[in-house]
Amino acid sequence: MKLNLAVLPGDGIGPEIVEQAMKAVKAVANKFKHELTYEYGLTGAIAIDEVGEPYPEKTHELCMNSDAVLFGAIGDPRFDNDPKAKVRPEQGLLLMRKKLGLYANIRPVETFESLLHKSPLRRELVEGADFVAIRELTGGIYFGEKGRKDGGNTAFDTCTYTREEIERILKLGYDFAMKRNKKLTVVDKANVLESSRLWREVAQEMAPNYPEVKTEYMFVDNAAMQIIQWPKNFDVMVTENMFGDILTDEASVITGSLGLLPSASVGIHTSVFEPIHGSYPQAAGKDIANPIATILSAAMMFEYAFNLPEEGKLIREAVAASMAEKYVTEDIAEGQAYKTSQVGDWIANYIEQN
Ligand code: IPM
Ligand code: MN
């Protein structure tokens, strides 16, 4: 099969971790005899430095012409403490989401036995937790009308959702629930927000079409609590953009393995696969960052973008083997720690040999 990738390493540790994921991608493509082509593109602070904007048109065209995008991370401390900065790396990410129509962000929340002791929760609460958080990514307050009035002294951001946007994301939620444990939790704030009331209305209309799935409705404040009290009660959670931003950070950290979790952003034109962690600028260039989240994002890419589950499975197996062998980076090492590049080589080598 032809696999045509856009590779966007981005900022901070992005280039190093993406390089390791590409080693795994090449090894798998070789092994299963796929015809792999790929091209690198600029995004984030590095794109601002080189061409003055965080998501240049050239990068957008590259993404539009690709079957999938492998993304590292963006963000640079130079921009963080300057509220007046005219362009910032994060704008690139939002623009990319909008222009590629990446309407769903999918974050599997899984635990790794060997890292459970790093969870902020008691082991018995989190052990075996396994759910998928689906966040709507191109609507809501992130993209609604915003501005200032009263000479700049009043500011507003508007949360807007259309029925179509809600149906599209809920449908994806139900598709996931059907393939998993058949429970869908729709998270909203329907006791206060009109946009949430539309979410709930649409969900209630759709639920009868999925009689096998148990649809549950939960207010976002309660959901924030339930995630830490009973994480094992969730199977598939679906929610709007900003609630999802907050809840998915919360959900990822309870596993104790933030550095290991991948994500997929599914879109109309292509899909983007990236680790959920950020650009970790303090570690950039040091060859110490954990590449596993990005390598697992590549596994998701084979599964979701190419419908090649065997290829994804082999990558997962290689990652699990590296952890079982304790061939890991310093953030999760108990004894000897290995370099980012060494872990990448080990995993690619495992793929070649197995
Ligand atoms: C994320 C990030 C982004 C978001 C930022 C960097 C704009 O936090 O991907 O969750 O808020 O969506
Ligand atoms: Mn976020």
pLDDT tens-digit series, residues 219-274: 999 999 999 999 999 999 999 999 999 999 999 999 988 889 999 999 999 999 99
249 appears as a binding residue in the annotation: yes
pLDDT at res. 239: 98
Q: How far is the CA of 324 from the centre of ligand 2 (A)?
A: 30
Burial class (CB in 10 A: 0-12, 13-18, 19+), 21: buried
pLDDT at 346 over 80: yes
CA nearest ligand 1 atom 6, residue: 90
Q: Nearest ligand to the C-alpha of residue 88?
A: 1
pLDDT at res. 219: 98
Active site residues: 142, 189, 221, 245, 249
pLDDT at res. 168: 98
Among 72-76, 226-230, 258-262, 295-299, name the one with the lowest average pLDDT.
258-262
**Residues around ligand 2, an ion, CB closer than 5 A:** 245
- Mean local confidence (pLDDT), 53-73: 98
Instruction: List pLDDT tens digits, range 144-170.
Output: 999 999 999 999 999 999 999 999 999
267-292 b/e (C-beta count within 10 Å ≥ 16 → b)? beebbbbbbbbebbbebbeebbbbbb
User: What ipTM, to 2 d.p.?
Assistant: 0.98
Among 53-67, 128-142, 250-264, name the one with the lowest average pLDDT.
250-264
Q: Which atom of ligand 1 is nearest to the CA of 248?
A: 10
Q: Which atom of ligand 1 is nearest to the CA of 249?
A: 10
- Cite the residue boundaries of each domain of the chain with CATH code 3.40.718.10: 1-102+267-354, 103-259
Confidence category of residue 81, pLDDT binned at 50, 70, 90 = confident
Q: Nearest ligand to the C-alpha of residue 73?
A: 1
157 appears as a binding residue in the annotation: no
pLDDT at res. 240: 98
CA nearest ligand 1 atom 12, residue: 245
Confidence category of residue 282, pLDDT binned at 50, 70, 90 = very high
CA distances to 47, 55, 63, 93, 219 from 51, rounded to whole Å, are 6, 9, 17, 16, 43
Q: Which atom of ligand 1 is nearest to the CA of 241?
A: 12
CA nearest ligand 1 atom 1, residue: 245
82 appears as a binding residue in the annotation: no
CATH classification (class only), 103-259:
alpha beta
Confidence category of residue 17, pLDDT binned at 50, 70, 90 = very high
pLDDT at res. 244: 97
Note the helical H segments in 183-333. 194-206, 220-229, 241-253, 292-300, 309-324
CA nearest ligand 1 atom 5, residue: 90
97 appears as a binding residue in the annotation: yes
The domain covering 1-102+267-354 belongs, at the CATH homologous superfamily level, to Isopropylmalate Dehydrogenase (3.40.718.10)
Angstrom distance (rounded) from CA 78 to CA 9: 18
Q: How far is the CA of 245 from the centre of ligand 1 (A)?
A: 7
Confidence category of residue 13, pLDDT binned at 50, 70, 90 = very high
- Mean local confidence (pLDDT), 1-17: 97
pLDDT at 114 over 90: no
Q: What is the 3-state secondary structure (H, E, C) of 38-66?
A: EEECCCCHHHHHHHCCCCCHHHHHHHHCC
pLDDT at res. 96: 96
Give strand pairing partners of 10: 73
pLDDT at 83 over 80: no
